[in-house]
Chains A and B, each alone.
Chain A
């Protein structure tokens, strides 16, 4: 790496304090031209705080930022964009009601005689996007295109506007495999053009595939910057966690399955899920495997009554029950921890305590409030049991990191003392440490005699805790694996099966 030319961006001594905590402590980040630099760390390590300080969304409390050798102090995202730092977020931050071209050139439209020159704008957009390998009609509304394409449009906008540093904050979280490759193609191209790209993600495989170097943060400090060609994934994880990861895959205890709890017989809904049959015993974890869109979430929603089934029946302890809506499901002591915690789970502005108690209170009925002392007792018990890290039970839950939000959500349903717990992607978007804790928790709940149904896209994880795995494909149950059959390989084979689709 040439050190005689100044780095594109050099942040030194960045500090940021929040009431009661030090979010960033003397952080240094150095970005060279033409490199993809991964920013790694557990949730709450300070990645997003650092990004927000760089883009001017937060005002830093100390340190300097040099852009191409000149000191800058952006006061707003608009200012940092002008200086050359563009950011693309996980949720596409473009406007759904505008066209592709309008989104691309919002705020800097080509003008003619004081008016926006739409024809030229569309032509420019078409040229610009062609440079990214996209041949789309820029006069179409943005929403006419897939999330991956929208993501590329967002990148194009950030690059066109800023052109020095591009920050990608979990850009691949909602993309499938092919779409990720489309995105990586674009990133490689930008790298060749001499941009410095900051890449933030939880997927270590992707980090190693695309990035040159990685800076690892822990508890608001930089614990190391590594050339990725010289280290292994395990080294990086060790850096992130600061401790040797204990063997993630626990020795599975002998299935101490108890009485048959629930029997699902041909449950399905036309156009959504083919009839599915499944029986669960107490103390059993059944995994649901399958590709994105294979029907995992649909299965969870049907069983929980969030979506009404139009065929099949359910037996609870041998007695037929109907679950027409989640309310009835809760009455039967079911619980569902949904996939998308931001939109379906947490109530962001309510306190952690209120979020935890929500389902328990709802099950009891709102006219019989749970006494304050009991509420505190319950909330504290689960915060302790699940090791939810927070400053106080009164803080709004949206301030927690992703993994802690997930755990609080889990606490909400555990507080209802369910017999049957459905978890949909319990480890999505959370860091490695919290990951292991949630897996241990699932193991614990199983040992305590709860029946669990866990949908997950992470095969190793399913293998780690499932006593049985149901494999779904195209909204159909295709295979059931038990005991020693449960290996990532077998699951992959069942998912791929005979249609020759490349999976892993």
Chain B
């Protein structure tokens, strides 16, 4: 059944299909699995971070720290693998624990000090970026044979597309994210928090643990995104991924999630990521367009989606008014 709350998701899907059709019309080779595979690989780190951002925005918050956390993770891994002999898997575990705890700490501050998420995560953004600089100001290459193994893992489609590990991790993250958002109590609590914190509290919801877990997830997924980014670039650089949080927010909004929280879908964010990736790919195919056109198109899309959301809000309010009126008369 199609409900009005599903409409933004459908619009996102429609936009994606339309955009892909336009691309394929101009460059039929964009239909190849190679392009699809690269789309997944190139956007893997952004996609993973955007899943965490979706939870945060669904709860009515924002997390500005994830770009810095991704960079910190990369530098941390590069430095620890250069200077010590611990296995990358252990390093991964370590950095995931660190970033999750970092997110949880921000969530705790937001809840217990009743601070706006914007300010707390802004502080987190500077902290994580600063910590990355402290570890190393230069780009540190990662040369570990385990990295080569991981980077060499891919499934080759008969027609030539290479579906790499990191793309798979992103798809898996999205699947788990969808399940958590829609089919667990925690997921329902996230929506409830976005629908109204005070009301959720009166309904007996565990606000503290929900808020802390939301930002812990966002931090942890930023850590995972950082691992994926280090696999993607084979290096750690403290100046990398500046502003990725804004790309993630854009993907979430284009994916149909309401910035004020409470309405949206994790699956929408997936298509938001793909739409953004598609624009980039088109510009690469074209070759004559400046890459800044990506930003312009994304900007335009964002405006379109914000207007769409406002329109939908008005539409539902109008519908609600008539519904109330008819119920009163009956």
Interface residues of A (CB under 8 A from B): 76-78, 81-82, 87, 89, 93-98, 102, 106-107, 109, 111, 114-116, 118, 139-141, 143-149, 157, 161, 176, 178-179, 293
Binding site for A on B (CB under 8 A): 1, 3-5, 179, 182-185, 187-189, 191-192, 194-196, 199-206, 262-263, 316, 319-320, 323-325, 327-328
With a CB–CB cut-off of 8 A, which chain B residues contact A82? 204
Q: Is the CB of B195 within 8 A of A116?
A: no
A78, A107, A144: the one within 8 Å of B323 (CB): A144
Q: Which 4 A-B pairs have the closest CB atoms?
A: A146-B327, A95-B195, A78-B204, A97-B262
**Is there an interface contact between B324 and A147, defined as CB atoms closer than 8 Å?**
yes
Are A143 and B316 touching (Cβ within 8 A)?
yes
Contacts of B185 in A (CB 8 A): 107, 109, 111, 116
- Give the docked Cα–Cα distance between A78 and B202 (Å): 7
Show 7 residue pairs from A and B whose CB-CB distance is below 8 angstroms, ordered by the A residue.
A81-B204, A95-B196, A97-B263, A107-B188, A115-B183, A141-B4, A146-B324
Most buried by B among A97, A102, A143, A149: A97
Once the chains bind, are B199 and A145 in contact (CB under 8 Å)?
Answer: no
With A81-B204, A115-B184, A116-B184 as known contacts, state yes or no: A148 contacts B189, CB within 8 Å: no
CA distance A90 to B202 in the complex (A): 13
| B6 → A minimal CB distance (Å) | 11
How far does the alpha carbon of A106 sit from the alpha carbon of B201 in the complex, in Å?
11
Are A106 and B188 neighbours in the complex by a CB distance under 8 Å?
Answer: yes
Q: Report how far A109 CA is from B179 CA in the complex, Å.
A: 15
| Min distance, Cβ B325 to any Cβ of chain A, angstroms | 8
Q: Which B residues lie within 8 Å of A147 (CB)? A: 324
Q: Are A98 and B3 in contact (CB under 8 A)?
A: no
Q: Which chain A residues border B203 with CB–CB below 8 Å?
A: 93-95, 106-107, 157
Q: Provide the residues of chain A in CB contact with B183, threshold 8 Å.
A: 115-116, 118
**Cβ–Cβ contact A97 & B3, under 8 A:** no
Residues of A contacting B201 with CB < 8 Å?
Answer: 77
Are B327 and A149 neighbours in the complex by a CB distance under 8 Å? yes
Least distance between B56 CB and chain A CB atoms (Å): 16
Bound state CA distance, A114 and B328, in angstroms? 41
The CA-CA distance from A42 to B194 in the complex, in Å, is 36
Within 8 Å by CB of A109, from B188, B195, B205, B263, lies: B188
- A162, closest chain B residue (CB): B204
Q: How far is the CA of A73 from the CA of B11 in the complex (A)?
A: 51
Given A115-B184, A116-B184, A146-B324, A106:B3 Cβ within 8 A: no
Contact between A179 and B328, CB atoms less than 8 A apart: yes
- CA distance in complex: A89, B198 (Å): 13
Chain A residues in 8 Å Cβ range of B320: 143-144
In the bound assembly, the distance between CA atoms of A250 and B191 in angstroms comes to 54
Bound-state Cα–Cα, A339 to B188, Å: 35
Given A76-B204, A98-B192, A115-B179, 19 more contacts at CB 8 Å?
A77-B201, A77-B202, A87-B202, A95-B200, A95-B203, A96-B195, A97-B5, A98-B188, A98-B195, A102-B188, A107-B185, A109-B185, A116-B187, A141-B3, A147-B324, A148-B328, A157-B203, A161-B204, A179-B328
